[in-house]
């Protein structure tokens, strides 16, 4: 075995391996502070920032003060995903890693857990919940995978001395309302609370829209808000029946509206007019042009 001292990696080019021989090279580990492409490098940077003599701003942060950053970075990653911008996605995923490593380093300093615990838990969870990949369990499709997943999660909770009182437990309340609605509906459906066929979902949606129309006509804002919520919830159930992601569909619709509206703004500005100065017919004409 030939050992190369640190900094002599270029000497590898001087070795010529004969087909009948084998040379083992022992390379010294890269110092953490120089590791720009691995977890050790980021862990070293975060420990330095949050440690004695670190950054005055960073050392003042807490788990709660970084809560908003975690959510913001996740949304920015979603924005990059929606735009199909892979360089931006790479950057935003890195920003999410910053918050993960920061929370882990804070917890290590407080004696709660460390980054190794985070990795160990997620690796164990992925292996344990995929017995059809890492074990000898056979599945007949995606549906059985999801059923097994829920059973394994329930067993994990039981092993911790916990259980879920309701089939709807496990949906974080801080998620966007549309995502929450679809997840709640899915969980209820898995528990057996579901329509038997798609036409029943359409009928329920029409019923809720009729009730919204009546509440709005009656001039009752509170009742109208309730019926609007019911209609939106049924729409998420319809999305599930159609195998669609309601949140993704609405995000796409938001982006489409933004593109078309800014086109209308630009077209009006080119005429030297504000949107408020245009008639409805003129606005519709510009909107039609934006669509095409």
User: Does residue 158 sit within a domain?
Assistant: no
Q: What mean pLDDT do residues 244-251 have?
A: 92
Final residue belonging to a domain, choices 115, 137, 172: 115
As a residue count, the chain comes to 292
Q: Is residue 143 part of a domain?
A: no
User: Do 4 and 28 touch, CB atoms closer than 8 A?
Assistant: yes
The pLDDT score that the predictor gives to residue 157 is 83
Q: Does a structural domain hold residue 135?
A: no
Structural domain contains residue 26: yes
End-to-end CA distance of the chain: 69
Distance CA 115, CA 106 (A): 10
SS3 169: coil
pLDDT over 70 at 60, yes or no = yes
Q: Is the pLDDT of residue 239 over 80?
A: yes
- The per-residue pLDDT for 193 is 93
Confidence of residue 31 (pLDDT cuts 50, 70, 90): confident
pLDDT of 51 strictly over 60: yes
Residue finishing a domain among 57, 82, 115:
115
**Mean pLDDT of all residues in 231-239:** 97
Determine the structural domain holding residue 83 and report its residue range.
2-115
Per-residue pLDDT tens digits for 162-215: 877 788 888 887 788 999 999 999 999 988 999 999 999 999 999 999 999 999
Residue 219 included in any domain: no
pLDDT of residue 22: 63
Q: Identify whether 32 is part of a domain.
A: yes
Mean pLDDT of 59-76: 92
| Mean pLDDT on 241-252 | 92
Task: Write b or e for each residue in 13-24: b if 16 or more Cβ atoms lie within 10 A of its Cβ, otherwise e.
Answer: eeeeeeeeeeee
3-state secondary structure of 36: coil
**In the listed set 115, 142, 175, which residue is the last one of a domain according to the structure?**
115
Number of domains making up the chain:
2
Is 42 a domain residue? yes
Gap between the Cα atoms of 33 and 44, Å rounded: 6
pLDDT digit string, tens, across residues 116-173 = 999 999 999 999 999 999 999 998 888 889 888 888 888 888 888 887 778 888 888 7
| pLDDT confidence bin for 110, thresholds 50/70/90 | very high
Domain assignment of residue 155, yes or no: no
Please give the mean pLDDT across all residues of the chain: 88
CATH code: domain of residue 71: 1.10.287.1080
Q: Is the confidence at residue 3, as pLDDT, over 60?
A: no
Q: Is the pLDDT confidence value at 292 over 70?
A: yes
- pLDDT for position 20: 55
């Amino acid at each position: 075995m030939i050992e190369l001292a640190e900094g002599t990696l270029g000497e590898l080019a001087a070795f010529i391996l004969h087909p009948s021989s084998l040379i083992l090279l022992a390379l010294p580990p890269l110092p953490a502070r120089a590791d720009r492409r691995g977890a050790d490098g980021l862990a070293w940077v975060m420990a330095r920032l949050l440690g004695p003599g670190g950054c005055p701003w960073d050392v003042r942060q807490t788990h709660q003060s970084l809560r908003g950053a975690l959510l913001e970075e996740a949304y920015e990653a979603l924005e990059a995903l929606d735009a199909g911008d892979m360089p931006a996605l790479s950057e935003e995923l890195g920003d999410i890693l910053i918050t993960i490593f920061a929370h882990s380093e804070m917890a290590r300093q407080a004696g709660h857990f460390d980054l190794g615990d985070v990795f160990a838990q997620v690796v164990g969870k992925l292996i344990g919940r995929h017995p059809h990949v890492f074990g000898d369990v056979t599945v007949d499709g995606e549906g059985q995978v999801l059923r097994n997943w829920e059973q394994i999660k329930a067993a994990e909770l039981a092993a911790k001395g916990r259980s879920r009182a309701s089939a709807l437990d496990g949906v974080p309340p801080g998620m966007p309302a549309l995502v929450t609605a679809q997840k709640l509906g899915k969980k209820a459906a898995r528990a057996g609370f579901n329509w038997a066929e798609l036409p029943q979902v359409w009928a329920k949606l029409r019923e809720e829209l009729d009730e919204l129309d009546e509440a709005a006509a009656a001039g009752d804002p509170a009742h109208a808000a309730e019926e609007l919520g019911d209609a939106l919830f049924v729409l998420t159930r319809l999305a599930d029946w159609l195998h669609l992601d309601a949140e993704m569909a609405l995000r796409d619709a938001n982006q489409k509206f933004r593109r078309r509206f800014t086109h209308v703004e630009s077209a009006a500005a080119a005429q030297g007019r504000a949107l408020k100065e245009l008639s409805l017919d003129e606005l519709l004409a510009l909107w039609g042009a934006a669509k095409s």
